[in-house]
């Protein structure tokens, strides 16, 4: 008769079996060790706050302004989340069609009308779409404002100086990317603002300093044409807005924040 | 008795008492810890932001507007963050145009059309390009704004400049709405004059904040502004009307007109403000200048509001006349007196006391205490005291005001060069009511 061995700690055994199966295939322990070591040795200041790192008891009245970079990042996250939702309903088609009354319109504008719950929506309106679009709009504005103010804070505290020069350059690039985010974003609805801004953009691209072929190349690259009448710029801008800019921007933002983490926040005494 | 309590650390962490109030300093980490303080604070900020965005999006739905119409060029205004670029595009019409021919003749490098769009592209780089080279031009250590007045004033100048460029982007709307501005030239000067005013006033104020030598920095900007104002006023309101070829009798008759009298009153009030301010900052010492200017400006402002209010209520035609006569020259006629008053205010203001401005740089190294001879004989000084820091935090007056020897041993060892004895002397001078304190020369 087999002796019944009471199983001690059945939950633990189950866990060990389950996670052991995973660990045999994906050995995570060495990686965790390396990470912990780097946290504990190389980046000893990592979990420390600013005031702890510099052993400050005083709170300078500028410190509230030190949250502006974080605010712009949080606003960016909100635009990403709401932007993903908007992407389900938005139609990036800017080619002109005409209503039975002969009024020009386009699918981008009509899909926006459905998202916004406007009366000219040809399909079913998107429930709470106006909230999602409003959040995308306002958090984008908040992000741009926060980026500007963040840059001013860094400028006025002299935080761009050694050793943070490269991070400042990265920040300038991120500022330009943010402006491009905004610009490509308000070209997407296919409304009158979009058309007018695309006209200006195409003209400025064509006039870019240099020989004429360069401007034509840039206009073709960015706006898919050199004339706002024929250029299908909305699809092009959609691709910039939802793929290229988020990809490059997110990578650079992570790099930007990683450098802040490594170099610390400036403490101008 | 009390010393026993202190040794037992009874008072630690009580309000008003320093944390380390004993001879041996502990390893306790000062500052707010990351967890939970900073994490909670960040969460509060994040939730607040999300709430604001929710409320905004529920309250104000951004309209989509009519669909784009390829046959109609709509009147549009770009979003606010691109206005500066559009303003530069518009102002580029004053720049020379033309065609740069291709030097090679192959069509690879030209011809380049130099037009408004070309200049718009290049001018947009003006606010951006300096940002790229900034960290390589401005070296050294990070500093508070008051310690780097030139850089900070340049920053204010650039902010004002970008703001002017953004304003100029809607120049036609502004002229339509306020026709008394006279025309586009008035708005073009927005690119030059207001940024200069803002930059110079900021520089003067920041010098004051940093306890720097002030006299000429008050006299020269105010004097130049007063001179420019006088020239403009003389030319516009005296020489040009006289040149118009009317007889003296016509002028005398014209002076009886109520709208001319209102204009003369306004210009003379501006002139009086400039002259009195210039006199005060040039010929009086600081205390007398302030004693003169404070009541003068208060009375002057009340009078200005009363007079202009009276004219606007009782004689709307005269008010319009005044606006149409002054606003085309607003940068000097209105701007210069405002600049003069603001520059005098920031240049004469009581700077942050040494107490606020200098002592708050302390990061509690405690060297001053080690060096201080007075703390060796003071009973309550118990070794862990930090002169500057405790004085700043009002936790404990580091050295009682009248026992400090002003030997400057603390300043000699201070890594941040905080002049504690200057502070003590300033406080004593204030207590004695001496003029030395208000002279603002504690550091010079």
pLDDT digits (tens, 9 = 90+) for A215-233: 899 999 999 988 887 888 9
In a domain, A7, yes or no: no
Map tokens 């502006």 to a residue.
A68
Res. A126: pLDDT tops 80: yes
Total domains present in chain A: 1
Nearest CB among B31, B46, B52 relative to A52 is that of B31
For the residues B399-419, what does the mean pLDDT come to? 81
Q: How far is CA A217 from the centre of its chain?
A: 27
Q: Where are the alpha helices (DSSP H) in B95-247?
A: 116-137, 149-168, 171-177, 184-188, 193-209, 215-234, 240-243
Helix intervals (H) in B33-105: 39-59, 83-91
pLDDT above 70 (res B421): yes
Is A269 inside a domain boundary?
A: no
Q: How far is B116 from chain A (nearest CA, A)?
A: 9
Q: Answer whether residue A33 is part of any domain.
A: no
- Cβ within 8 Å, pair A55-B364: yes
Task: Check residue B107 and give its pLDDT.
Answer: 67
Tell me if chain B has a CB within 8 Å of the CB of A259: no
Contact: B29, A55; criterion CB under 8 Å: yes
Of B137-146, B292-301, B388-397, give the lowest mean pLDDT range: B388-397
- The yes-or-no verdict on residue A43 having pLDDT over 60 is no
First to last CA, chain A: 80
In this prediction, residue A88 carries a pLDDT of: 95
Comparing CA positions, the residue from B153, B149, B279, B284 lying closest to residue B211 is: B149
Best residue in B49, B68, B151 to probe A by mutation, most A CBs within 10 Å? B68
Backbone φ, ψ for residue B113 (5° rounding) = -80, 115
The answer for B 358-387 residues in CB contact with A (under 8 A) is 360-364
- Sorted by sequence, the CB contacts under 8 Å of residue A23 that are 6+ apart come out as A29
Contact call for A206 and B117, based on CB within 8 A? yes
Residue B392 binned pLDDT confidence (cut-offs 50, 70, 90): low
Residue A237 in domain: yes
CB contacts, 8 Å: A71 with chain B: 45, 49
Q: Report pLDDT digits (tens) over B72-104.
A: 777 778 889 999 988 988 888 888 877 777 777
The pLDDT, as a whole number, for residue A44 is 52
Q: Which two tokens stand for residue A71?
A: 């605010």
- Residue A102: the pLDDT is 84
A139 CA to chain B: closest CA distance, Å? 6
C-beta atoms of A165 and B135 within 8 A: yes
| pLDDT over 70 at A101, yes or no | yes
Q: Which residues of B touch A142 (CB under 8 A)?
A: 49, 52-53
Q: Answer yes or no: do A268 and B142 touch at CB < 8 A.
A: yes
Q: Does A266 touch chain B (CB under 8 A)?
A: yes
Per residue in A127-137, pLDDT (tens digit) is 999 999 999 99
Asked if residues B207 and B149 have their Cβ atoms less than 8 Å apart, the reply is yes
Contacts of A101 in chain B (CB under 8 A): none
Q: What is the pLDDT of residue B117?
A: 77
Contact predicate B344/B294, CB 8 Å: no
Contact B121/A at CB under 8 A: yes
Band (A57; pLDDT cuts 50, 70, 90):
low
Selecting from A109, A157, A203 the residue whose C-beta is nearest the C-beta of B144 gives: A157
Give the A window 59-78 contacts with B, CB below 8 Å. 60, 62, 67, 70-71, 74-75, 78
CB contacts < 8 Å between A and B, how many?
250
Q: Which residue has the higher pLDDT, A223 or B249?
A: A223
Query: What is the rounded distance in angstroms from the CA atom of residue B410 to the CA atom of residue B391?
Result: 13
Mind listing the pLDDT tens digit for each residue in B43-65? 999 999 999 999 999 999 888 88
Instruction: Render pLDDT for B155-198 as a digit per residue (tens, 0 to 9).
Output: 999 999 999 999 999 998 899 998 888 888 889 999 999 999 99
Q: What is the pTM of this model?
A: 0.81
Measured in Å, how far apart are chain B's first and last C-alpha atoms?
46
**Residues 6 or more apart whose Cβ sits within 8 Å of residue A85:** A132
Q: Say how far apart CA B161 and CA B152 lie, in whole Å.
A: 14
Percent of chain A having pLDDT more than 90? 51
Suggest the residue from B18, B142, B198 to mutate for an interface test with chain A (most A CBs closer than 10 A). Answer: B142
Is residue A18 one of the residues assigned to a domain? no
Instruction: Confirm whether the ipTM is greater than 0.85.
Output: no
Lowest mean pLDDT among A74-78, A247-251, B168-172: B168-172
* B113 has a pLDDT exceeding 60: yes
* A3 part of a folded domain: no
Contact A138 B56 (CB under 8 A): yes
Whether the pLDDT of residue B395 is over 60: the answer is no
More confident residue, A7 or B257: B257
Q: What is the mean pLDDT of residues B393-398?
A: 58
CA distance A126 to B222: 61
Mean pLDDT, chain B, rounded, equals 82
pLDDT of residue A200: 87
The verdict on a CB contact (< 8 Å) between A148 and B68 is no
Domain limits for position A246: 60-263
User: What pLDDT is stored for residue B417 in this prediction?
Assistant: 79
Mean pLDDT of chain A: 87
Which chain A residues in 183-242 lie under 8 Å from chain B, judged by CB atoms?
Answer: 183, 186, 189-200, 203-204, 206-213, 228-229
- Give the per-residue pLDDT at A185: 95
pLDDT for res B51: 96
Q: Categorize the per-residue pLDDT at B442 as very low, low, confident or very high, splitting at 50, 70 and 90.
A: very low
Mean pLDDT of B31-48: 84
Those residues whose C-beta lies under 8 Å from the C-beta of residue B17, and which sit 6 or more positions away, are B11, B395, B396
More confident residue, B42 or B386: B42
CA gap B21, B10 in Å, rounded: 10
User: Could you tell me if B136 lies within 8 Å of chain A, comparing CB atoms?
Assistant: yes
Domain boundaries, chain B: 145-348, 354-439
∠ CA B161-B166-B171, rounded to 5°: 115
Would residue A25 count as lying in a domain?
Answer: no
User: Chain A contact for B106, CB < 8 A?
Assistant: no
Interchain proximity A148–B361, CB inside 8 Å: no
Under an 8 A CB cutoff, do B68 and A55 touch? Answer: no
CATH code of A78's domain: 1.20.810.10
Residue A213 is assigned to a structural domain of this protein: yes
């Amino acid at each position: 008769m087999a002796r019944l061995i009471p199983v001690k700690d059945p939950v633990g055994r189950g866990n060990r079996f389950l996670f052991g199966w995973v660990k045999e295939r994906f050995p995570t322990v060495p990686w965790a060790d390396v990470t912990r070591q780097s946290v504990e040795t190389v980046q000893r200041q990592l979990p420390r706050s600013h005031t702890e790192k510099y052993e400050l008891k005083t709170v300078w009245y500028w410190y509230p302004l030190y949250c502006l970079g974080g605010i712009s990042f949080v606003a960016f996250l909100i635009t990403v989340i709401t932007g993903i939702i908007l992407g389900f309903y938005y139609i990036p088609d800017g080619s002109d069609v005409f209503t039975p009354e002969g009024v020009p319109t386009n699918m981008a504008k009509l899909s926006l009308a459905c998202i916004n719950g406007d009366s000219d929506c040809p399909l079913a309106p998107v429930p709470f779409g106006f909230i999602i679009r409003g959040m995308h709009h306002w958090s984008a504005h908040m992000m741009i404002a926060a980026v500007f103010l963040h840059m001013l804070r860094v400028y006025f505290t002299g935080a761009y100086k050694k050793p943070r020069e490269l991070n400042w350059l990265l920040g300038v690039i991120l500022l330009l990317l943010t402006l491009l985010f905004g610009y490509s974003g308000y070209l997407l609805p296919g409304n009158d603002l979009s058309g007018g801004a695309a006209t200006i953009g195409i003209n400025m691209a064509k006039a870019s300093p240099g020989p004429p072929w360069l401007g034509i190349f840039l206009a073709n690259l960015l706006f898919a044409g050199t004339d706002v009448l024929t250029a299908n710029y909305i699809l092009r801008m959609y691709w910039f807005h939802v793929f290229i800019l988020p990809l490059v921007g997110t990578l650079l933002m992570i790099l930007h924040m990683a450098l802040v983490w490594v170099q610390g926040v400036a403490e101008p005494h | 008795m009390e010393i026993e309590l202190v040794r037992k650390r009874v008072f630690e962490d009580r309000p008003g008492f320093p944390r380390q109030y004993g001879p041996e300093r502990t390893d306790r980490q000062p500052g707010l810890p990351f967890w939970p303080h900073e994490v909670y604070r960040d969460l509060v900020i994040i939730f607040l932001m999300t709430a604001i965005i929710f409320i905004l999006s529920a309250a104000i739905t951004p309209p989509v507007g009519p669909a784009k119409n390829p046959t109609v060029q709509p009147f549009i205004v770009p979003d606010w963050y691109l206005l500066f670029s559009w303003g530069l595009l518009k102002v580029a019409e004053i720049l020379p145009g033309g065609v740069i021919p291709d030097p090679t003749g192959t069509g690879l490098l030209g011809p380049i059309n130099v037009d408004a769009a070309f200049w718009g592209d290049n001018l947009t780089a003006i606010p951006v390009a300096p940002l790229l080279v900034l960290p390589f031009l401005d070296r050294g250590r990070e500093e508070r704004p008051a310690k780097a007045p030139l850089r900070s004033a340049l920053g204010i100048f650039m902010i004002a400049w970008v703001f002017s460029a953004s304003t100029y982007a809607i120049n036609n709307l502004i002229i339509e709405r306020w026709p008394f501005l006279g025309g586009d030239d008035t708005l073009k000067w927005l690119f030059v004059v207001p940024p200069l005013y803002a930059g110079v006033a900021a520089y003067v104020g920041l010098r004051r904040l940093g306890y720097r030598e002030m006299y000429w920095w008050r006299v020269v900007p105010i004097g130049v502004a007063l001179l420019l104002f006088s020239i403009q006023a003389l030319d516009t309101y005296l020489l040009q009307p006289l040149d118009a070829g009317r007889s003296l009798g016509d002028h005398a008759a014209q002076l009886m007109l109520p709208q001319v009298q209102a204009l003369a009153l306004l210009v003379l009030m501006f002139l009086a403000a400039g002259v009195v301010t210039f006199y005060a900052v040039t010929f009086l010492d600081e205390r007398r200048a302030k004693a003169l200017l404070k009541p003068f400006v208060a009375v002057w402002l009340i009078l200005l509001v009363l007079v202009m209010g009276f004219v606007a209520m009782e004689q709307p035609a005269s008010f319009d006349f005044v606006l149409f006569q002054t606003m085309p020259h607003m940068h000097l006629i209105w701007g210069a007196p405002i600049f003069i008053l603001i520059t005098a205010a920031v240049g004469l203001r009581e700077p942050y006391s040494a107490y606020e401005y200098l002592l708050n740089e302390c990061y509690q190294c405690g060297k001053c205490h080690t060096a201080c001879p007075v703390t060796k004989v003071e009973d309550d000084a118990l070794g862990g005291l930090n002169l500057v820091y405790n004085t700043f935090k009002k936790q404990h007056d580091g050295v009682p005001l009248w026992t400090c020897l002003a030997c400057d041993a603390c300043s000699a060892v201070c890594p941040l060069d905080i002049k504690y004895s200057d502070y003590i002397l300033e406080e004593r001078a204030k207590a004695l009511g001496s003029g030395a304190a208000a002279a603002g020369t504690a550091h010079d």
